[in-house]
Structure 1
Amino acid sequence: MKHPLKKILEKRNSGINSGIASFCTANSIVIETILEYYLNSEDYVLIECTANQVNQFGGYTNMTPIEFVKYVHTIADSVGFPKDKIILGADHFGPLAWADKSESEAMENARELVRLAVLAGYTKIHLDTSMFLGSDDTSKKLSDETIARRGVELYNVCEEAFDERCEKYPNSLHPVYVIGSEVPIPGGEYEEKDDLEVTSPQDFEKTIETYDIMFKEYGFKNAWDNIIAVVVQPGVEFSNEDIHEYNRDNATPLCEKLIEYPNLVFEGHSTDYQTEIKLKEMVEDGVAVLKVGPALTYALREGLFSLSLIERELIIDESKRANFIEFLDEIMRNNPKYWEKYYDGDKFEKELQRKYSFSDRCRYYMSRQDINENINKLFENIDSNNTPLGMIRQYFPQTFLKIKSQNSLSAKNLVKLNIINVLEDYNYAIEK
Structure 2
Amino acid sequence: MQVKLEQLAAYRASGTPRGISSVCSAHPIILRAALRHGLQCGATVLIEATCNQVNHLGGYTGMKPADFVALVCRIAAEEGCPVEQIVLGGDHLGPNPWRDRDAEAAMAEAGKMVAAYVAAGFRKIHLDASMGCKDEPVALDDAVTAARAVRLAAVAEKTAKEVGGDMPCYIIGTEVPPPGGADHALDTIIPTAPEAVRQTLAVHREAFAQAGLADAFNRVIGIVVQPGVEFGNRNVIFYDRKKAQSLVRVLDGEPGLVFEAHSTDYQGAKPLAGLVEDGFAILKVGPELTFVLREALYALDLIASDLVPGYGERPLKREMERLMLADPGNWNRHYYGDAATQAVLRHYSLSDRIRYYWATEAAEKAVARLIAALTGRNIPLPLMWQYLPAATDFADAPLEPETFLIWRVTQSLQAYHAACNG
TM-score between both structures, scaled by the size of structure 1: 0.93
Query: Structure 2: any 5+ residue segments left out of the alignment?
Result: none
| Identity within the alignment, % | 37
Deviations 1:323-361 (A, max 9, x none): 111111111111111111111111111110100001100
Query: Structure 1: any 5+ residue segments left out of the alignment?
Result: 167-171
Aligned length: 421
From the superposition, tell whether residues 403 and 388 of structure 1 become closer, same or farther in structure 2 (CA, over 3 Å).
closer
Q: Residue 194 of structure 1: CA displacement?
A: 2.4
Deviations 1:72-107 (A, max 9, x none): 111111212112211001011111111222111111
- Structure 2 residue 151 is the aligned partner of structure 1 residue 153: yes
- Partners of 2:42 and 2:301 in 1: CA distance: 36
- Structure 2 residue 270 is the aligned partner of structure 1 residue 280: no
Question: 1:25-424 maps to which residues of 2 (within 5 A)?
Answer: 25-138=25-138, 142-166=140-164, 172-318=165-311, 323-400=315-392, 403=394, 406=397, 409-424=399-414
Residue 169 of structure 1: aligned partner: none
- Secondary structure of 1:59's counterpart equals coil
Q: Residue 384 of structure 1: CA displacement?
A: 5.0
- Partners of 1:113 and 1:40 in 2: CA distance: 33
- Partners of 1:403 and 1:229 in 2: CA distance: 41
- Partners of 2:268 and 2:78 in 1: CA distance: 31
Residue 39 of structure 2 aligns with an amino acid whose one-letter code is L
- Secondary structure of 1:119's counterpart equals helix
- Partners of 2:40 and 2:403 in 1: CA distance: 18
Q: Residue 174 of structure 1: CA displacement?
A: 1.6
Deviations 1:383-425 (A, max 9, x none): 254320221232222233x659946x42222222211111111
Residue 227 of structure 1 aligns with an amino acid whose one-letter code is V
Deviations 1:274-323 (A, max 9, x none): 0100000000000000000000000100000111111111124355x771
Q: Residue 267 of structure 1: CA displacement?
A: 0.1
Residue 34 of structure 1 aligns with an amino acid whose one-letter code is A
Contact 1:383 1:410 in 2 (8 A): yes
Residue 19 of structure 2: aligned partner: 19
- Partners of 2:31 and 2:272 in 1: CA distance: 21
